[in-house]
Amino acid sequence: MSDKKKIYKPKPISGYPEWLPQVRRVEQQWLDHIREVFESYGFCNIETPAVEALEVIAAKGEDVDKEIYVLERLQKEEGDKEARLALHFDQTVPLARYVGQHFNDLVFPFKRYQTQKVWRGERPQAGRFREFTQCDIDVINVDNLPLSLDAEMPKIIHEVLSGLDIPPFEIRISNRKILLGLLDYLEVRNKTEVTRIIDKIEKLSEDSIEQLLKEHGIDEADSSEILWLALCPDLDAVFPHNEMMQEGLEELQFVMDQLSHLPNVVADLSIVRGLDYYTGTVYETMFVDDPSYGSICSGGRYDDLASSYINKKLPGVGISIGFSRLFAKMHTQLDTGRISPADVLVILNSEDDRAAASEIADTLRKNGNAVELYHAPQKFSKQLSYAEKKGIPFVWMPPFGDTVEHKVKTMATGDQVEADYKDWKAADA
């Protein structure tokens, strides 16, 4: 029997992160926290399929198209007629479809949160994945939507992020009408390209921005006016050249006034966002000490979300936490050593003690403890070592030999005290 079994050497797939149990444990705690905050503001949850019909997803333009994963059966035969399916690329498009489809059954304003994986065929980098989790909240209404919701979004996000163990962050807010109004006034044609250039202000120098603008046919006077606006720290200093700019300035001022009690929420006119469907308020969130890591939470207002799916005007505002990016930034520091969720490990002394040990474990569980029972009567040191490795904080030591008392050992200190399993709680110990 010399022939070795061939094994497939396991390796990670780039852009598809996975964590060890001790990190996943923290990840779930973060997700729980996010859910609790969202629900405390009255958002309800939905989940949509991993896939949408390709034509639902692919309508956003070529840049987006090239990142879409299409689904196909391996054994598909030529000529098989099936709807082409694609993995969703964000949660906004599925939401639009969902709202259009269930319009008559939804109550408006529709406030929903959604935490799911999304897929993008990008080159993975630090904080950038091919499969990642987003936590979205959106509010959608028929015909019009109060502007104060534009302020509620960052307020909620601020509350969420403040409750997580992360470095200092800053939520930056602008209103697209301001920059787009100026581009209108300057009669700039390729607005999308220009806004994308302005979007790079975080990474590039002023000179390179000017150079890029020049390459896209913006003359020096216009270019310096655009740059001045993007970098202008004071809303009052901006002169509105037209109604659009005026409107944008007023809206932004209104939103900022409502958020004035939050120091790390700032107006920043260089924020424009690449995605074209945003029409007013836009948000981005950066780590203060590492802004080039990218936005960990972005979003904005859109005039009509679902016009491709239903003949109604449905304005909305939404924001999305790039959960995977956020979590990946921290995960190396998040290993608490707590692999198991168990509070206590019940020792199994011998086969004869199995029934008793099992009863102890059940009773402890009824009292609200998470309990793992060791299932093999192995050496005591081995069972202790197991608790140590799994990060289980307490070990329950049932009577053995001639002894009659139960003891609980606290692993961190080594202390052992007598205890009654009928009313012991890890939380009190």
Partner RNA sequence: GCGAGCGUAGCUCAGCUGGUAGAGCACUCGGUUGUGAUCCGAGUUGUCGCGGGUUCAAGCCCCGUCGUUCGCCCCA
Please identify, using beta-carbon distances, which residue of 223 and 320 lies nearer to RNA. Answer: 320
Size of the chain, expressed as the number of residues it contains: 429
Residue 21 binding RNA, by CB under 7 A? no
Identify which range of 26-34, 177-185, 219-227, 315-323 contacts RNA by CB under 7 A.
315-323
CA dist 39 and 322 (Å) reads 18
CA dist 2 and 243 (Å) reads 82
Residue 115 binding RNA, by CB under 7 A? no
Least distance (Å) from RNA to the CB of residue 246?
27
Residue 125 binding RNA, by CB under 7 A? yes
Residue 223 binding RNA, by CB under 7 A? no
Identify which range of 21-29, 124-132, 138-146, 151-159 contacts RNA by CB under 7 A.
124-132
CA dist 17 and 127 (Å) reads 10
Residue 191 binding RNA, by CB under 7 A? no
Residue 206 binding RNA, by CB under 7 A? no
Tell me whether strands 44-45 and 416-418 are parallel, antiparallel or unpaired: unpaired
Residue 114 binding RNA, by CB under 7 A? no
Q: Is the peptide bond before 146 cis (omega within 30 degrees of 0)?
A: no
CA dist 158 and 142 (Å) reads 27
Residue 349 binding RNA, by CB under 7 A? yes
Site for RNA in 286-305 (CB under 7 A): 294-298
Residue 407 binding RNA, by CB under 7 A? yes
Residue 274 binding RNA, by CB under 7 A? yes
Tell how many helices (H) and how many strands (E) occur in the chain.
13, 16
In angstroms, what CA-CA distances link 50 with 115, 121, 203?
12, 15, 33
For residue 204, what is the enclosing H or E element?
A: none
Please identify, using beta-carbon distances, which residue of 111 and 273 lies nearer to RNA. Answer: 273
Using DSSP's 3-state secondary structure scheme, residue 138 falls into strand
Residue 76 binding RNA, by CB under 7 A? no
CA dist 413 and 428 (Å) reads 16
Residue 403 binding RNA, by CB under 7 A? yes
Residue 385 binding RNA, by CB under 7 A? yes
Please identify, using beta-carbon distances, which residue of 405 and 423 lies nearer to RNA. Answer: 405
Q: For residue 158, which phi and psi values (nearest 5 degrees)?
A: -60, -40
Residue 219 binding RNA, by CB under 7 A? no
Least distance (Å) from RNA to the CB of residue 389?
6
CA dist 340 and 1 (Å) reads 39
CA dist 143 and 24 (Å) reads 42
CA dist 269 and 410 (Å) reads 55
DSSP 125: B
Residue 389 binding RNA, by CB under 7 A? yes
Interface with RNA (CB under 7 A), residue from 324, 340, 345, 426: 324
Q: Rule CB under 7 A: which residues touch RNA?
A: 6, 9, 11-15, 63-64, 67, 90, 120, 122-129, 132, 134, 196, 199-200, 203, 273-275, 284, 294-298, 320-322, 324-325, 347, 349, 379-382, 384-385, 387-389, 397-398, 400-401, 403, 407, 409, 411-414, 416
